Amino acid sequence: MALLEKGAKAPLFEALDQDGDRVALSDYLGRKVVLYFYPKDDTPGCTKEACAFRDNFPKFKEIGVEVLGVSIDSEKRHKKFVEKYDLPFRLVVDEEKKVVQDYGVWGLKKFMGKEYMGTNRVTYLIGEDGTIEHVWPKVKPAGHAGELLEYLQTSA
C-alpha cells in the first residue's frame, strides 16, 4: 500500500497505549495530531526521534498539537521505552500491524544488503477535521521534531 497523501481522510484506529489504555484517533478530532511511525523502541534512531519529541513536547502542547508515536512493539516494550527516556506522549501498540498497513508505512526495507518487511519512518500531520494536512515520508530522526514545529508555526 502507498503512503496516504495530503488531503486524504486519516484512517481511524483504536488501539492500546504503553499503559494498556485505549487510544482512538477519533478522540482527537478538533485538534491537530502529529502521528509519527517509527521502526523499533530503544534503537538509536528511534530513541533520537522520541527524545527530540520529548524535548520539544512543551512547545507542541503550547500550540495545541498532540503527539502520538506508533510502532509494532508490544505494550511492555513501549512502557519500558517511555520510562527509560521519560517520554511525555503516548505510544500506540500496533502488534497486529493494522495501523502501519492502513497508513501505508509497512513495507520493504533494506539494511546492510538484506531486504525485509518493516515500518518505515514516516510522520503525518492530521488536521482538526481528521484529514492529512502534511506528510513527511523520509524522516531524519534527530531534527524532525524541530522541522515539524517550524512547519506548524509558519503554516498557522
Active-site residue, 51 included: no
Beta strands at 65-71 and 90-93: parallel, antiparallel or unpaired:
parallel
Q: Spell out the residues 6+ positions from residue 12 whose beta carbon is closer than 8 angstroms to its own.
A: 24, 25, 26, 130
- Annotated active-site residue in 15, 23, 35, 46: 46
For the annotated catalytic residues, the residue numbers are: 46
